Amino acid sequence: MSTYVSKEIAAELDAARIAGLKKISRLRVDIGDNTYKILRLWKDGFTVEADTTPQLRGLVDIYDGVNHLYQCLIIADEDEAGEMRYEFKRSTAAADKAPLDFYRAPDAPIALLGHKD
């Protein structure tokens, strides 16, 4: 039995696989004013569709829906089976408030109320 698959059929299979990944993924990468769908995300990088996404480089933001997950510095790795793979040079988890430069006790008051005269 032969396991040869023609280039046309392989391209169609890749397109169907990418369409399925795009449909289920909520992740996106923002660079400037542009947004692109992330197909797969792992600890050291992510992939996007190679045909519809321009070459990305530099500082990007990664979102899950409206939740800001990471701010990353990325470099292109390789194009394989219709997916462009990027690796993180640096990945910083996003926080919804500024970091404190001092220890805050868990039971510390949030605010002080003054007297009304």
Entry pTM: 0.69
Characterize the bridge pairing of strands 83-93 and 45-49: antiparallel
Residue type, 21: L
Burial of 100 (0-12, 13-18, 19+ CB in 10 A): exposed
The domains found in the chain, sorted by start residue, are: 26-93 (2.40.10.430)
Residue-wise pLDDT tens digits, 8-51:
877 777 777 777 777 777 889 988 888 999 988 889 999 998 88
